[in-house]
Amino acid sequence: MTFQAIHRSFAGRVAERPDATLFELPGGRVVTYGETAELAQRIAARLVADGVVAGDRVAMQVDKSWEAIALYLAVLQVGGMFLPLNTAYTGHEMEHFLTDAEPRVLVCSPARLGEYAGRASESLVVETLGADGDGTLLAGLDAVAPHTDVYAAAPSDPAAILYTSGTTGRSKGAVLTHRNLASNCAALTEAWRYTSGDRLIHALPIFHTHGLFVAMNLTLTTGASVFYLPRFDLDTVIALLPKATVLMGVPTFYTRLAGDGRLDRERVATMRLFVSGSAPLLASDHEAFAGRTGQAILERYGMTETCMNTSNPYDGARKPGTVGPALPGIEVRVADRETGAQVPDGEVGSIEVRGPNVFAGYWRLPEKTAAEFRADGFFITGDVGRIDEDGYVVIVGRDKDLVISGGFNVYPKEIEELIDAHPDVLESAVIGVPHPDFGETVVAVVVLRPGVDAGAVDGAGILAFIAPDLARFKQPRAVQIVESLPRNVMGKVQKAELRKRYAGLFTA
C-alpha cells in the first residue's frame, strides 16, 4: 500500500471539496474542510513562530473544540509530535508528562493558565485555547500569513506521543509514527467501508486513540463529516441518530443507549454502523442493542501502542463476545506468556501483534520497549485471549493490572501509591469490579496502620486525601477498610480474591 501521511490525505480532500462540511457543531454552525485547513495553516505559522521544528512535541490539554483538531493537523504539517492530554489530569499528573516529554509548546485551556504560566521558559511556550476558540493560540491569527510548507514526513517519522501507564512505574509515552497512523486509518477505512458520504456522531474525547486516530483520522482522510459533540450526552445522541450514518463509542455509550426507551429500529434507519471498543462489550449488551435496533454492534480491539488490531467484519458474522480477526496487513497470534511460542488455536495465552500499526517504542525508554517485544518483532499486548474456530480473537482477561472504567484506563499502582502516603494507612490494593454503567469501576481496599482507631479514619477521609492529585475518573467509587489483605504463599496480594469478594458492590 502506498504511504500517504494523514495530513497529506486531508489536504487531498480539501483540494477536492473545500466547501464540504467537516464539522457540524451543536449550535448548528458548520465548519468546512477549507476553513479547517486554513486555520491549521495559520496555527502552523504560530507554532513555527513559537520555535517548533520537526520532532518537537506540542502538548495539548484543552476542552474539545474543532480548533483543537486544526491544531492537531498543524502539528503534523510542521513535523511536530502531537501530545494530547486528558483534561481531567490534575497538576500532579501533568508534572510527569511535561517533564518527560519536554514539549516546545503547551496549549492549555485559558482557565488553567494560572497553573502552567510559571512553566514558560526559553524552551517552553505556553499558549491557551478555549472551547470557543478563545485564547492566545488563535489571537490575532487573521493577520498572520498561513504557513504553507508541509513537512515531508517519512513513514517512520514520529507523529504523536500518547501516554499510557505500565503496571509499574510512571506512565510511558507511546511514540506513534506517520506510518502507524496512516496504515491503520487505511485498513479501517476499507474494513468499515467508510466514505465521504458518512456522517459520524463524534461524542468521544479527542485525547485518545479512539476519538482522534480512529474517529477523526477516518473522517479527515475520506472527506466525511462529523456531528461534533463536546461529550457523550444521551439526549443529544438520540436526537442525532436519524441524521447520522455511523457512531463510534465505548461500551458505556451502548449500555446507556440500549437503556433508553426512544431507541428503536426507526430511529436508526439511516445508521449503517455502530462501532464499540476500548473496553469489553458484554455479549448481553450486544444482544440487547440488536434486539432494540435490528443492528449488530461491530466490536473491534485496539491499544494506544498499536492503534486497531482486530475487527469484527463489516460483511459477515459479528460475533458477540469476540473482537474479530486481525485487520488486513496485521498479524495477531496467541502465545505462551513465558516462551513466546505460538499456542494452538483455541488455547488461551498472551495476545501478541505485529504489523505497520505497531508503535515505534516508548519515549526515551529503550529497555522498557525491548521488554514488551519478542525477538521476532511481535508486541506483547498484556491482554490474554484465544483464537476461536473462525479465526476471531476472544479476549478473556488481562495480564496487566489495569482497570478500564467507561473506556478510560486506570492503573491501580498509581492510586495505591497515593493512598499509601496517607499517614494512617499501612497498605492498600486497588481493584476493578463490575459496574452497570462504566463496565468496571475502581475500588480501594485499605489496611490501617496498627494502633490507628478505625472509627477515626473512613473512606471519605482517604478519598479527600488523594482527590487533589488524581483525575476524577481514577478516584475509587468505594473504599473498603479491612484487617489484612489476602496474600499467596509468595506474599503477593491476591487481587483476584478481592475482585471476587467485592464483585457485587455495584451490581445486584
**Parallel, antiparallel, or unpaired: how do β-strands 172-177 and 158-164 relate?**
antiparallel
Closer to ligand AMP by CB, 42 or 286: give it: 286
Q: Which of 52, 50, 36, 41 is nearest to 74 (CA)?
A: 41
Nearer to ligand AMP (CB atom), residue 406 or residue 476? 406
User: Taking CB within 5 to 8 Å according to partner kind, which of ligand AMP, ligand MCA, none is near residue 164?
Assistant: ligand AMP
**What is the C-alpha separation between 386 and 373, in angstroms, rounded?**
19
Smallest separation (angstroms) from ligand AMP to the CB of 80: 22
- Nearest residue to ligand MCA, using CB? 406
Type of residue numbered 303: M
Residues 196 and 224: beta-carbon distance below 8 Å? yes
For residue 225, give the nearest of 34, 23, 449 by alpha carbon.
23
323 binds, among ligand AMP, ligand MCA, none (CB under 5 to 8 A by kind): ligand AMP
Sign of the dihedral defined by the CA atoms of residues 32, 33, 39, 40, in that order: positive
Identify which range of 204-212, 284-292, 328-336, 481-489 contacts ligand MCA by CB under 6 A.
Answer: 204-212
Closest distance between ligand AMP and the C-beta of residue 404, in Å?
6
- Interface stretch with ligand MCA, choices 70-78, 151-159, 200-208, 325-333 (CB under 6 A): 200-208
Across-strand partners of 57?
81
Q: Least Å distance between CB 385 and ligand MCA?
A: 14
Which residues in this chain contact ligand AMP in the complex, by CB under 6 A? 164, 209, 277-280, 299, 301-304, 323, 381-383, 395, 398, 404, 409
Among positions 128, 438, 470, 485, the unique one binding ligand MCA when judged by CB under 6 A = 438
Q: Is 20 left (phi over 0), alpha (psi -120 to 50) or beta?
A: beta
Residue 383 interacting partner from ligand MCA, ligand AMP, none (CB closer than 5 to 8 Å by kind): ligand AMP
- 3 binds, options ligand AMP, ligand MCA, none, Cβ within 5 to 8 A by partner type: none
Q: How far is CA 455 from CA 286, 448, 451, 505, in A?
A: 45, 11, 11, 22
Q: Which three cell numbers stand for residue 310?
A: 482486530
Number of residues that bind ligand MCA (CB under 6 A): 22
Q: How far is the CB of 479 from ligand MCA (least distance, A)?
A: 15
3-state secondary structure of 369: helix
Query: In the window 218-277, what residues touch ligand MCA (CB under 6 A)?
Result: 231-232, 250, 252, 277
Contacts of 489 (CB under 8 A, 6+ apart): none
Ordered DSSP codes for 120-171: --SS-EEEE--TTS-STTTTTGGGSPP--------TTSEEEEEEE--SSSS-
Identify residues 287-306 at the interface with ligand MCA (CB under 6 A).
Answer: 302-304
Cβ atoms of residues 350 and 380 within 8 Å: yes
* Among 130, 158, 211, 356, interactor with ligand MCA by CB under 6 A: 211
Residue 398 binds what, of ligand AMP, ligand MCA, none (CB under 5 to 8 Å, by partner type)?
ligand AMP
| List of residues contacting ligand MCA (CB under 6 A) | 204-205, 208-211, 231-232, 250, 252, 277-278, 302-304, 405-408, 438, 472-473
